[in-house]
Amino acid sequence: MRKTGKQLTLLSGIVPFLFASGLAHAKSIWDFQEPVTPIAHDSMTVSVDFQRIIMVIYAVVFAIFIYSIFRHRKNSGVQPAAFTGPRTKWQWALAISPFLILIYIDYVLMGIPAFHSIVNMEDTRTAAEMVVKVTASQWKWQYEYPEEDIRFVSTIATTQEQIHNKKTKGEHYLQEVDNPLILPTNKKVRILLTSTDVIHSWWVPAFGVKRDAVPGYLREMWVNIDKPGTYRGQCAQLCGDGHSFMPIVVEAIAEPQFREWVAKKKAEGSLAETAAGKVWSRNELMVKGEEIYKRVCIACHQADGKGIPGAFPALAGSKIVNGPFLDNDDRLIKDGHLDRVMNGKPGSAMQAFKNILSDAEIAAVVTYERNSFGNRMDDMVQPSQVKALR
Ligand SMILES: [Cu+2]
């Protein structure tokens, strides 16, 4: 019996220690994602080191603890010691030394690396070679490259059929987006972060960054990705009922490919300019509009346009959608359909899409809504009209 007890003592000390140590550090589903930025490497090292320190303390304390219990058990005839009389130096030393040891471990052994790591996280000043602005809103991310004049919206790419169990779920279920954030590797990128409605949080575990996006505040963080690849994360603040539908995907590519991508994206931008100039057919607008609706509007207004009663208004049969949107002088009718889409509704979840969607995209989605879900307005909005109203 006594032997088994001793073995157990040993096991309880050693097994967790092995888990935390490098010996058992093979890749498993329980592990952290592989770190790919200085912050992530740093946090990982700090975490692993702390686990080791904690396990050593655990093993030592429990070994003494359990040894004492067995050594001084009643049936071996041990008599309790009587601690009376004036305190001896020995007693003082026993009381104070564990305290000093713990202070040393906490404030020196663990404190210094943790402090270093946190200061490092906050340090966006030194040589940020590039800036990306991230704007969160229910339930999508907008990515902006101010120096390149590139801006796009990134939304979940998992289909409604998969979400509602009508189709088999893919490998990256709820972790895939239409437009990933593209970043160059080996470059210090400063990320500015804000939100248009509620608090969201931009979290990519492999980068070791997770920061709240707070409306009205501009916050910052940085990454310097050392390995090309696709990194996935998600919004980490409970931000409404579409919270689980705002994944983050970052594509890290080498600098030359990144330059190519920037050039391509800029060309697309001028294409959008041209698109705004041409006259679109109803059919073209409907096709494009459906695509935008599924990407941007569907989370709130639903696939059937019926919204969610009490939370998000229906577009099917809506007075606004089935009403006029321009007055006789071709100006926006206040609270009309186009005004709502372009300027949003202050104080509600309906945000302004003027700076998120292009002229053609706004024209298309408004046309689509006016002629879908049983709405039969038989009219359309031209991108040139949207352009003139900006
Ligand atoms: Cu969110």
Predicted confidence (pLDDT) per residue in 194-221, tens digit: 998 899 999 999 999 999 999 999 999 9
List, for residues 51-62, the tens digit of each pLDDT value: 999 999 899 999
Distance 101 CA to ligand 1 centre (A): 43
Residue 350 Cα to ligand 1 midpoint, Å, equals 15
| Ligand 1 mean position, distance from CA 255 (Å) | 30
CA of 196 to the centre of ligand 1 (A): 11
Distance 134 CA to ligand 1 centre (A): 12
Instruction: Give the architecture (CATH level 2) of 278-389.
Output: Orthogonal Bundle (1.10)
Using the mean position of ligand 1's atoms as its centre, give its distance from the Cα of residue 118 in Å. 24
What is the per-residue pLDDT for 3?
A: 38
How far does the centroid of ligand 1 lie from the alpha carbon of residue 8, in Å? Answer: 46
Left if phi > 0, otherwise alpha if psi is -120 to 50, otherwise beta: which for 229? left
The overall average pLDDT reported for the chain is 85
Pairwise CA distance, residues 362 & 359, whole Å:
5
**How confident is the model over 80-101, as a mean pLDDT?**
84
List CB contacts of 82: < 8 A, sequence separation 6 or more: none
For residue 30, report the distance from its CA to the centre of ligand 1, in Å. 25
State the average pLDDT over residues 269-284: 78
Give me the percent of the chain exceeding a pLDDT of 70.
Answer: 92
The alpha carbon of 242 and the centre of ligand 1 are apart by a number of angstroms equal to 8
> For residue 240, how far is its CA from the centre of ligand 1 (angstroms)?
7
Query: Could you tell me the strand order of the sheet in which 209-213 lies?
Result: 181-184, 247-253, 229-235, 200-204, 209-213
Q: How far is the CA of 156 from the centre of ligand 1 (A)?
A: 12
Domain locations along the chain: 2-73+86-122, 130-272, 278-389
* Ligand 1 mean position, distance from CA 331 (Å): 35
CA of 297 to the centre of ligand 1 (A): 16
Distance CA(168)–CA(150), nearest Å, equals 35
Q: Which of 28-32, 320-324, 375-379 has the lowest mean pLDDT?
A: 28-32
- What is the Å distance from ligand 1's center to 368 Cα? 27
Instruction: Please name the residue ranges forming H helices in the chain.
Output: 2-20, 38-71, 89-104, 111-122, 160-163, 255-277, 282-292, 298-301, 337-343, 359-370, 383-389
pLDDT tier at 26 (50, 70, 90 boundaries)?
A: low
Q: Which residue has the higher pLDDT, 14 or 359?
A: 359
For residue range 291-305, what is the model confidence (pLDDT) as tens digits?
889 888 888 898 889
The Cβ of residue 147 has, within 10 Å, a number of other Cβ atoms equal to: 10
Expressed in angstroms and rounded, the spacing between residue 336 Cα and the centre of ligand 1 is 28
**Distance from C-alpha of 299 to C-alpha of 312, rounded to nearest angstrom:** 10
pTM above 0.85, yes or no: no
Distance 54 CA to ligand 1 centre (A): 34
Question: Considering the chain, what percentage of its residues have pLDDT values greater than 90?
Answer: 35
For residues 135 and 138, give the distance between their C-alpha atoms in angstroms, rounded to a whole number.
Answer: 10
Multiple choice CATH, 130-272, 2.40.10.340, 2.60.40.420, 3.30.300.170, 3.40.50.1980: 2.60.40.420
Report residue 8's pLDDT band, with 50, 70 and 90 as the boundaries. very low
pLDDT at 48 over 80: yes
- What is the whole-number distance in angstroms between the Cα of residue 278 and the centre of ligand 1? 36
Only one residue has tokens 């000043």, namely 125
Greater pLDDT, 373 or 13 = 373
Amino acid 131: pLDDT: 92
Q: How far is the CA of 349 from the centre of ligand 1 (A)?
A: 13
- Whether 345 has a pLDDT exceeding 90, the answer reads no
Distances from the Cα of 197 to the Cαs of 170, 194, 249, 344, in angstroms? 30, 9, 21, 12
- At residue 23 the predicted structure's pLDDT band, cuts being 50, 70 and 90, is very low
Separation of CA 197 and ligand 1 centre (Å): 10
Residue with tokens 């100006």: 331
Range of weakest confidence among 5-19, 26-40, 118-132:
5-19
DSSP bridge pairs for 229: 252
> Of 6 and 102, which is predicted with more confidence?
102
37 CA distance to ligand 1 middle (Å)? 23
CA 139 to ligand 1 centroid distance, Å: 6
Which amino acid makes up residue 286?
M
Cα torsion 184, 186, 190, 192 to 10°: value is: 40
For residue 65, name the pLDDT band (cuts at 50, 70, 90): very high
- What's the whole-number mean pLDDT along residues 143-158? 89
Assess whether pLDDT exceeds 80 at residue 242.
yes
| Cis before 139 (ω within 30) | yes
Average pLDDT estimate for 98-109:
89
When pLDDT is averaged across residues 175-204 and rounded to a whole number, the result is 93
Please determine, for residue 5, whether its predicted confidence score (pLDDT) is greater than 50.
Answer: no
